[in-house]
């Protein structure tokens, strides 16, 4: 994704629920800047898990818990 460009169709604008999880210990990655940009936007929610890049390897239980909590916070009306 850092070497090749992406052509978007515009359908990404149809996504209404956007949530960004940052691996907080991965300080030298460009994801820190993306988190800073998105965390202040009203159309995104965000949070930090205190791991390096592979959150799903380093903290699978915590990641699953947070993803479940986020999904549960969405109501049926939000999803239609």
pLDDT by residue (tens digit) across 35-67? 999 999 999 999 999 999 999 999 999 999 999
| Dihedral angle computed from the Cα positions of residues 78, 7, 46 and 26, in that order, rounded to the nearest 10 degrees | 150
Q: Report residue 59 as tokens.
A: 């903290």
Give me the pLDDT at residue 79, please: 65
Residue with tokens 């800047």: 33
- pTM: predicted TM-score of the whole model, two decimal places: 0.78
DSSP character string of 3-34: SS-----SGGGG----EEEEETT-TTSTHHHH
Give me the pLDDT at residue 76, please: 60
* Residue 47 three-state SS: strand
Give me the pLDDT at residue 1, please: 66
Provide mean pLDDT across the span 9-34: 91
Give me the pLDDT at residue 19, please: 94
């Amino acid at each position: 994704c850092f070497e090749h460009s992406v052509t978007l169709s515009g359908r990404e604008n149809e996504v209404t629920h956007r949530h960004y999880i940052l691996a907080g210990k991965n300080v030298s990655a460009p994801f820190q800047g993306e988190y800073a940009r998105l965390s202040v936007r009203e159309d995104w929610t965000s949070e930090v898990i205190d791991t390096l890049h592979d959150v799903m390897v380093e903290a699978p239980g915590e990641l699953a818990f947070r993803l479940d909590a986020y999904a549960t916070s969405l109501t049926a009306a939000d999803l239609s």
